[in-house]
Structure 1
Amino acid sequence: MALEVEAWFMDDSNEDQRLPHHLNPKELVSLDYLAVVFCFVELGVLYWKLNPENYENDPELSKIREERGYDYMDLLDLCPEKVSNYEEKLKNFFTEHIHKDEEIRYCLAGSGYFDVRDKDDRWIRIWMQPGDLIILPAGIYHRFTLDTSNYIKLMRLFVGEPVWTPYNRPQEEHPVRQKYINGLTHKFGETIKAH
C-alpha cells in the first residue's frame, strides 16, 4: 500500500481519459504542492491515508468527520455493471466543473483519478487508491474519471444533506470561485502534510 497519494502533471493528449496521461518525462506533484500557498492562489487539496478495511470503526475517520462536520455519508460503487447510464455519467464526471461545497471522497476499493487545475491552469492528476481520502475545496476546477480498472468504491461525505450540483467551466464570476481564488489563503495558511 502506498504511503501517500500519487499525483502528477498531465499531458494534453486526447487519448482515453482512463490512461495515466503522464508527461514525458514524468513530472510528479508532492502533497505540499497540492496544499501549499502559491502567490494568491492555493490549491487547498487535503489528503489522508486511512485503513479502508476498517472504515466502519476507524477512529481517525471519525475524528476527521467530527472536526470537519461531515454528518452525512453514503457509498458509491462506480462500474459498468452497477451504474445505469455508466458512460453518460462518466462523461458528466469528466466535464470540468466546480461545486459550491467541498468534495470529499474516500476510496475503499478500486481506483480512479481526480484531476484539479493549478494556479497556472495546468491539470494535475491525483490517483485515488484504497485508503486515500481527499478533500477538494469549494471553487476548485476539477473532474473525475475511472482508470483502466473500471471500478471504484467511494465513500462520499457531506456537511448536512448531500448537494452535488456541478457548475461547468467557465465560472470565474461565481462567488464560490472568487472566494476560492481570493480567500482560501487565509483559511489554510500553511502547508498541510499527509497524515
Structure 2
Amino acid sequence: MVLTKRLLLLLLLVLEPRFINGAETNRLESFVHDELPFSQHGIMGFSTSIASDAENDVEKVIQAWYINDEDNAEKDQMPHDLIPIGKLLDLGLVAMQLDADNHEHDEKLKKMREQRGYLHMDIVELTPKKLPNYNMMIKRFFEEHLHIDEEVRYCLDGSGYFDVRDENDRWIRVSVRKGALIVVPAGIYHRFTLDSNNYIKAMRLFSGGPDWTAYNRPHDHLIARKKYLEALQNRTKVPQDLDSSLNLTSL
C-alpha cells in the first residue's frame, strides 16, 4: 500500500506542470508543441510543388476552418467552410498523411525522420481514463501559447484540434485524425483541445532534448516569435532535398 502511494505521488510530480514567468511546462503537454519551416537550423521549408493526389491524401486526415474568438471555442466541434491546406502551409505548418497502422515499419516515416533529423520519439495517449487531472490538463493545453521549438505530432489513433493564429491574428481550427502528421512551427501562437471523442494517441518526434515549455501569450519578445514573424512576412524558405514520394506538404 505504501509503495502504491509512493508510485502515485511520483507520477503526479512528473505530470504536474511548473510555471516560469507565466510559462508552464509539462511532459505530457509537450504532446502539443515545438519549431519549423521558420525553425530548427534557421528558416526552413519544403517545396510547395506537390502532386494534387498528395494534397488530397492530406485532406483526408487534416481539415481546417476559421472559428470565432470566443470563450466557448473549445466546444466548437462543427466544421464551417473549409479552407485550403495551402493556407496552413503559408503559416509555416507541415501537413502529411501516413499509414498509422504501419507506423513501426513505415518507410515513408523513416525517411522523413532521417531527412529532418528526428532521432527520438515517444507515444502518449490523452484520455480521461489515462491522464491524471484530465480536466485541468486539457484546460491548460487550451491556453494560447507558443514554443521555442517546433512541435511534431503524428496521430496514431483518435482525433483532436490544433488552433493556430493566422497573419491577421484570427483563429484557424486544424482537425487531425488518424494518419495525420503535423508540424507546428516555433513562435506561432496556438493551443490544443480534444474533440467530442475525448481521445487521441500520438507519436511525438524530436531531434534532441526538446524544450516543451509553453509560453503563454504575450511572449512577443522571444527570439523564436520574432523569427517566426519575420519569416511569415518575408515568406522565406530554404529548399531541402526531400523525396517527393513523401507526400509532405509545407511552406
TM range (shorter): 0.7 to 0.9
Contact 2:67 2:73 in 1 (8 A): no
- Aligned partners of 1:174, 1:102: CA distance in 2, in Å? 14
Aligned to 1:47: 95
- Aligned partners of 1:181, 1:111: CA distance in 2, in Å? 29
2:236 is the alignment partner of 1:182:
no
- Give the fraction of aligned pairs with identical amino acids, expressed as a percent: 47
Contact 2:61 2:177 in 1 (8 A): no
- Aligned partners of 2:229, 2:129: CA distance in 1, in Å? 39
The structure having more radius of gyration, on CA atoms, is 2
- Aligned partners of 1:158, 1:18: CA distance in 2, in Å? 30
Higher helix proportion (structure 1 or 2): 2
TM-score by length of 2: 0.69
Q: Which runs of 5+ in 1 are unaligned?
A: 37-42
What amino acid is aligned across from residue 159 of structure 2 in structure 1? S
Alignment of 1:101-120 (within 5 A): 101-120=149-168
Alignment of 1:93-172 (within 5 A): 93-172=141-220
2:138 is the alignment partner of 1:90:
yes
Alpha-carbon distance, 1:167 to partner: 0.6
Alpha-carbon distance, 1:13 to partner: 3.7
Q: How many residues align?
A: 184
Report the aligned-residue RMSD.
Answer: 2.0
Q: 1:141 to 1:21 in 2, by over 3 A?
A: farther
Q: 1:193 to 1:76 in 2, by over 3 A?
A: closer
Runs of 4+ in 1 over 3 A off after TM superposition: 192-195
Q: 1:79 to 1:62 in 2, by over 3 A?
A: same
Aligned to 1:7: 64
- Aligned partners of 2:159, 2:180: CA distance in 1, in Å? 10
Q: Which runs of 5+ in 2 are unaligned?
A: 1-56, 240-246
TM-score by length of 1: 0.87
Alpha-carbon distance, 1:183 to partner: 2.9
Deviations 1:60-90 (A, max 9, x none): 1111111111111010110000011111111
Deviations 1:104-162 (A, max 9, x none): 00000010000000000000000010000000111011000000100000101111023
